[in-house]
Amino acid sequence: MGAETTGLTARLLILLMVANGMPILLRKLLGERFGWPVDGGCRFPDGRPWFGPSKTWRGLVCGIGAAAAAAPLLGQPWQLGALVGAASLAGDLLSSFLKRRLGIVPSGMALGLDQIPESLLPLLAVQGRFGLEWSYIAWFVIVFIVLELTLSAVLYRFRIRNRPY
């Protein structure tokens, strides 16, 4: 892997971590304040929530905003950060929707389902811009899974996350 690819990988990983980490940090700092659920407490026809109470407008807006703010610090346009953040958090919402359909409780662990959509969707969103090949995308998703699980354990140890995953 060349230096250019390594740099791109690092920048994309940082943007994903910023977008996905901001909601966790805000929940720790603010508790339930301004934490209005994205699904408004509505239920899907199966009787389960659409996403659950941990998916909030606060997290969504601030996660996208944080990624947009971080992008220029990484030498990228803010619009790219907003796109990566929005696609990643859309993937997170998709994961939550699927987990509710499978009967997995909010914040419950589903290895792969928790990580793949939130890393795959942003890569698909920027695939044309960076000319990403499928082999790179698959490799990146695997790296994201390992990094996300490792970082999650660290955040749990520092009592930033409520669960170690």
Output the tens digit of pLDDT for each of the chain's 165 residues.
577 888 999 999 999 999 999 999 999 899 989 999 999 999 999 999 999 999 999 999 999 999 999 999 999 999 999 999 999 999 999 999 999 999 998 778 898 999 999 999 999 999 999 999 999 999 999 999 999 999 889 988 988 888 777
Q: Which domain holds residue 89?
A: 3-157
Is 164 inside any structural domain? no
Is 165 inside any structural domain? no
Is 84 inside any structural domain? yes
Is 23 inside any structural domain? yes
Is 90 inside any structural domain? yes
Is 163 inside any structural domain? no
Q: Count of domains in the chain? A: 1
Q: What is the Cα gyration radius of the chain?
A: 16
pTM of this prediction? 0.92
Is 9 inside any structural domain? yes
